[in-house]
Structure 1
Amino acid sequence: MNMIVTIRSADAGESIFARLKALIASRPASPDAARFEARQLISMAMADTWQADSLWGAADAFHVHFDFMMQTIDINGAGDPNLRILRTKCRFYLEQVEALCQSMSRR
């Protein structure tokens, strides 16, 4: 599995990333609410594809980094300098989920 190549979609992908950005900025009321919204993002990215191990691996990695980012915000606040790295990793794994979905839908 190549996790380096980034494939961007047109409008659908941008709406997913806009929702991710809004979710991060909004600081949901609870970690559970944040996890639920993050799972919705993954569901949007996975729509209409078969479930491959690599797809779920990327999705799980997204959730782990997203949860860690939310915990970091709760503990250290939104100004923590490490959040930039975590945001980048969340975006990376969400892009990988989207890329895997796109590649599977072309088969």
Structure 2
Amino acid sequence: MALTPSLGEFEQVVLLAILRLGDDAYGVTIRSEIAECTGRDPAPGALYTTFDRLQQKGLVTSKLGDPTPQRGGRAKRFFNVTATGIQAVAQAQRSYQRLLKGISLPGVANA
């Protein structure tokens, strides 16, 4: 059985944004989704470096859409999370749940 690659925190955020966006996951929408959900606006360079790393790990795939006049003839690169990427997100979620189990933060209501 192959090991699921470990994820850095920002890699997890990017994967979750791609999963939330589904078929509309490309650079601009992913960046907007991250900003809206986390309050952080990642630099484009950090985002595209992370896309490359996630592709090298086999956690995402990408494909070019059709060029459009609105983009000056450039195509959008759409991203999808692979089955291995979904497993990595699930593993990270389980790890966080184990870490959080039994923790009560003063002044914070339990969800």
Structure with higher helix content: 1
Structure with higher strand content: 2
- TM-score of the superposition, structure 2-length normalised? 0.31
Which of 1 and 2 has higher RCO (CA within 8 Å, sep 6+)? 1
- TM-score of the superposition, structure 1-length normalised? 0.31
